[in-house]
């Protein structure tokens, strides 16, 4: 008698193999999506940090050609059309007065909005003596 696999065994093994390959492909696609979104968020954070180190006015539309001189052609092309709206708003004032010291804290909420990246807000505290 010849030993071989039956048709049922072959079909089950092909089915299991195709499920495993499908799961691996789905995992790969999920990982690529996550990496892409992380890359976009880091791009947005980089653009925000370029602007935040400058003296920003209260409300403006940012064009990054005004903030950096770009020698990289690819980077210049990517930033040419990128516009981010910046809003700065006084959120709170705190005064601490003592016999020896007089401190004034101002807390600003700064928000950056982009069509491509979404919205990001953070707080900035300034100290005035």
Instruction: Break the chain into its structural domains and give their ranges.
Output: 7-128
pTM: 0.54
**pLDDT digit string (tens) for 48-86?**
776 776 665 666 676 666 555 656 666 666 666 677 788
Q: Provide the pLDDT for residue 118.
A: 82
3-class DSSP state of 57: coil
Please give the C-alpha separations between residue 105 and each of 28, 57, 63, in angstroms, as whole numbers: 49, 19, 30
**pLDDT digit string (tens) for 22-46?**
999 999 999 999 998 888 788 777 7
Other Cβ atoms within 10 Å of 78 Cβ, number: 13
Question: 119 Cβ partners below 8 Å, 6+ apart?
Answer: 111, 112, 113
CA distance 50 to 42: 12
């Amino acid at each position: 008698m010849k030993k071989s696999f039956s048709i049922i065994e072959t079909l089950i093994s092909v089915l299991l193999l195709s499920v495993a390959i499908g799961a691996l492909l789905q995992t790969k696609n999920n990982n690529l999506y996550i990496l892409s979104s992380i890359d976009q968020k880091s791009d947005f954070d980089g653009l925000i940090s370029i602007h935040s180190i400058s003296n920003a006015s209260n409300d403006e539309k940012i064009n990054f050609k005004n903030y950096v001189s770009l020698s990289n052609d690819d980077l210049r092309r990517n930033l040419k059309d990128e516009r981010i709206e910046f809003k700065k708003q006084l959120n709170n004032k705190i005064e601490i007065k003592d016999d020896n010291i007089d401190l004034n804290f101002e807390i600003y909420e700064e928000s950056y909005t982009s069509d491509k990246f979404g919205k990001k807000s953070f707080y900035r505290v300034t100290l005035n003596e």
